[in-house]
Structure 1
């Protein structure tokens, strides 16, 4: 199809968590809710039906957006509208709608039967990844987990914008089949997603500004005089000594370095 030549497009993959355990009525309700939420969110950012290709995946959807659709709107207002729509849909439901959503961009084609391209493959694997599943499993109150590829995060998310919060994303590796990628995980409405079981503690993204609460907490610690962490420690042997930062004042009998257990090597010969 000429309208879907292999050109750069942003791809969105979404999946309903636990749909295989739902009864027929609950399954239909979840699918209807997912479509209503997505259609409203795309309307909110001005993406009409003719500006995207949408495929039904049974318990999810796969979409490729027209090249001119700005990705900043997708990771900003669109994602916020999805989150708020899911919250509204779930009000009072015993079996709430919970979504995994992934996004990545790259050359995408169409062979007359569906979307084709490495960007499509990676987006689907990010959506179906173990960390995305584990984040939802770690906290039953999480309704949406969003997965951004490293390309999307570093080229779009870090630039910030309305409803875009790069400091609230956390990186985890995604390893499945031939995929070995770093991806960025975000839970709307949270300062950080719940850590997947067994995952290492992740620091905030490099270069991103800390969240307002984190900045406030850091300021409070500074005002309270909480000592800052140090990169090294000093052990001093002697009397009448005052240690000020990295300087020692007083009669120093000797000191011991990390490579000198008894103070007799180069580190232990600094006497005066």
Structure 2
């Protein structure tokens, strides 16, 4: 068996593909593949053909080598994905709009052909499926891309502010999915900076100065819904 190597994992999942007729589901699966292919094509300087890219109908998992800077993944790759998504939706009908949830984590990944193993693979999948991100997307139907990053990725990459990453645009959440329990950070990519509920504070750009009581969205319960409904998104 091959040894695990340091990698960044990007998981994407299309929203609401199970509703409607079979033809709509198939159309959105094809649309996701088109958007992901365009996103990869925009990353040509980092040889995306060498990445592990697994497409599973309405979801995908990308495992990206350490030769690609993680700040570039969190900023530029996500931006390329948003641009490709906007290009598709601009010409799609109301029933064919594609909205995505995306999750990022990094760490040791074991790869054997098409088979993947490691905490980042599981964490990215759980984050992408968590209630906090799903509820944020449901509460803001005009947002086409919702991003969630692990606590480690936020701490190691986002707070450094490279490539235009802005920590203040991320909101801390508590995630409970299956056996996974942990914290993560949500950013509605094509919306304005999130505005938390009254009295809550966002972390400043400098991590050392971040207040102990940060804005949180609980993944379950009414408090989560109340905070999400107070997000102020502009288009």
CA drift at 1:33: 2.2
Q: Report whether the alignment pairs 1:89 with 2:88.
A: yes
CA displacement, residues 40-82 of structure 1 (integer Å, 9 cap, x when unaligned): 2233232334321111222100111122111111111111111
TM-score (norm 2): 0.78
Structure 2: distance between partners of 1:106 and 1:202: 31
Contact 1:44 1:77 in 2 (8 A): no
Normalised by the length of structure 1, the TM-score is: 0.68
Residues 227-272 of structure 1 show CA distances to partners (whole Å, capped at 9, x for unaligned) of xxxxxxxxxxxxxxxxxxxxxxxxxxxxxxxxxxxxxxxxxxxxxx
Q: Which has the higher helix share?
A: 2
Of 205, 212, 219, 2:203 maps to 205
Q: Which runs of 5+ in 2 are unaligned?
A: 208-235
| Structure exhibiting the larger radius of gyration computed from Cα positions | 1
- Aligned pair in 2 of structure 1 residues 114, 94: CA closer, same or farther (>3 Å)? same
CA 39–113 in structure 1, closer or farther in 2 if over 3 Å, else same: closer
Matches within 5 A, 1:74-113: 74-91=73-90, 92-95=92-95, 96-113=97-114
Distance 1:200 1:122 in 2: 31
- Aligned match of 2:189: 188
Q: Is the 8 A contact 2:5 2:109 kept in 1?
A: yes
The 5 A counterparts of 1:1-272 are 2=2, 5-45=3-43, 46-91=45-90, 92-95=92-95, 96-193=97-194, 202-208=200-206
Contact 1:168 1:190 (8 Å CA) reproduced: no
Shift in Å, 1:113: 4.6
Task: Report the Cα distance in structure 1 between the residues aligned to 2:23 and 2:131, rounded to whole angstroms.
Answer: 28
Match of 2:221 in 1: none
Alpha-carbon distance between aligned partners in 2 of 1:201 and 1:119, rounded to the nearest angstrom:
34
Higher RCO (C-alpha 8 Å, min separation 6)? 2
After TM superposition, give the deviation of residue 184 of structure 1 in Å: 0.5
Tell me if structure 2 keeps the 8 A contact 1:135–1:193: no
